[in-house]
Chain A
Amino acid sequence: GAVVSQHPSWVICKSGTSVKIECRSLDFQATTMFWYRQFPKQSLMLMATSNEGSKATYEQGVEKDKFLINHASLTLSTLTVTSAHPEDSSFYICSARAEETQYFGPGTRLLVL
């Protein structure tokens, strides 16, 4: 199957700082990528749909000014958590669409102190 990578795999930051997470499709081009968040013992929650060359579409309740998404190329989407706070600590997972199937990255664990 297609391979999606994320960087970093984990990050610890101080409250109030911003954190950028990268999502790359390694062996295919993806016009559409997705960002999910997962809290402990819960399922994945879709945050936003990232479209190459256009603005992201955010799900209801997700603050677009807090979670900045940029999809500048067909293989890279970035999620920036701005002014992170402890409640933003979570497992962030991206996926990229290859034809009719979505493939997921390994996830990025964010801990905000």
Chain B
Amino acid sequence: DAKTTQPPSMDCAEGRAANLPCNHSTISGNEYVYWYRQIHSQGPQYIIHGLKNNETNEMASLIITEDRKSSTLILPHATLRDTAVYYCIVDKQGGKLIFGQGTELSVKP
């Protein structure tokens, strides 16, 4: 499985957009980019995933570079409830998800 690199922590002001980067330079052609988040003491929550096109849902947008070596998760209007650890994972569809250390996002008032 391809390895991902994320900053260990980020801060964001409430109401502003949170842009969380992820590097996955060794991603294979058939591997997807998945984003999950884990709020303290809860199970991970699925956010979004994509292969090569940008994706948007009610939670977030996923921007994948053309060479697919990096991506950015965008939370358009961060709230205090978005404070969590965000995990970027690359994997084949239907594979087993291997979690890295993720980015601890703190949304501040």
- Show the binding face of A for B, using Cβ within 8 Å: 1, 4, 6, 32, 34, 36, 43-46, 49, 91, 93, 95, 97, 100-107, 109
Contact = CB atoms under 8 A, between A and B. Distances in A.
A62 to B, nearest CB: 13
Given A100-B32, A100-B94, A101-B49, A43 B43 contact: no
B93 interface: yes
A43 B97 CA distance: 12
Given A43-B102, A100-B94, A105 B43 contact: yes
Interface string B29-67: 000101010100111111001000000000000000000
Contact of B43 (A46, A101, A104): A104
A95 B97 contact: yes
B7 interface: no
Contacts of B97: 34, 46, 95, 102
B76 to A, nearest CB: 19
A10 to B, nearest CB: 10
Instruction: State the main secondary structure of chain B at its contact with A.
Output: loop
The 5 closest A-B pairs by CB, nearest first: A104-B43, A44-B99, A100-B93, A104-B44, A43-B99
Nearest to A45: B99
Interface of B: 32, 34, 36, 38, 41-46, 49, 87, 93-94, 96-102
Nearest to B97: A102
15 contacts: A6-B43, A36-B99, A43-B87, A43-B101, A43-B102, A44-B99, A45-B99, A46-B96, A46-B98, A93-B44, A95-B44, A100-B32, A100-B93, A102-B46, A104-B43
A44 B96 contact: no
A104 B45 contact: yes
Contacts of A34: 96-97
A105 B45 CA distance: 9
Contact of B49 (A32, A36, A100, A107): A100
